[in-house]
Amino acid sequence: MFLLFLFAGPIRLPEDYHNFADQRSVFLIPNFLDVVSNVPFAVLGIYGFCYLARKKRGPNPRDFIAKLPFLGFFLAIIFVMLGSGYYHWAPADGPLLYDRVPIVIAFMCLFSGFLSDRLNSVSFVLWGMPCLIVLSLCSLGWDLFHAAKGGDLRFYLFVQVCPIVILPIICRLYPHGRLTTEKHLWQMIGWYVLAKFFEYFDPQIFSLTLETLSGHTLKHLAASMAVLSVICMLKEKMRAEP
Does the pLDDT at position 151 exceed 80? no
Q: For the domain with range 27-240, which CATH number is right: 1.10.3470, 1.10.1060, 1.20.1070, 2.30.30?
A: 1.20.1070
pLDDT tens, position by position, 49-87:
999 988 765 445 567 888 899 999 999 999 999 999 999
pLDDT confidence bin for 126, thresholds 50/70/90: confident
**Percentage of residues in the chain having pLDDT higher than 90:** 57
* Per-residue confidence (pLDDT) for residue 61, from 0 to 100: 59
* Per-residue confidence (pLDDT) for residue 154, from 0 to 100: 82
Does the pLDDT at position 200 exceed 60? yes
DSSP result, 59-89:
S-HHHHHHHHHHHHHHHHHHHHHHHHHHHHH
Q: What integer best gives the mean pLDDT of the chain?
A: 88
Taking the domains of the chain in order of start, what are their residue ranges? 27-240
* Per-residue confidence (pLDDT) for residue 141, from 0 to 100: 85
Assess contact for 57 and 67: CB atoms under 8 A: yes
CA–CA gap between residue 38 and residue 44 (Å, rounded): 11
Considering only CA atoms, which of 77, 97, 79, 78 is closest in space to residue 87? 97
* Overall average pLDDT of the 113-119 stretch: 92
* Per-residue confidence (pLDDT) for residue 139, from 0 to 100: 84
CA–CA gap between residue 231 and residue 224 (Å, rounded): 11
Q: What is the pTM of this model?
A: 0.90
Does the pLDDT at position 6 exceed 80? no
Degrees to nearest 5, angle at CA 10 with 143 and 204: 90
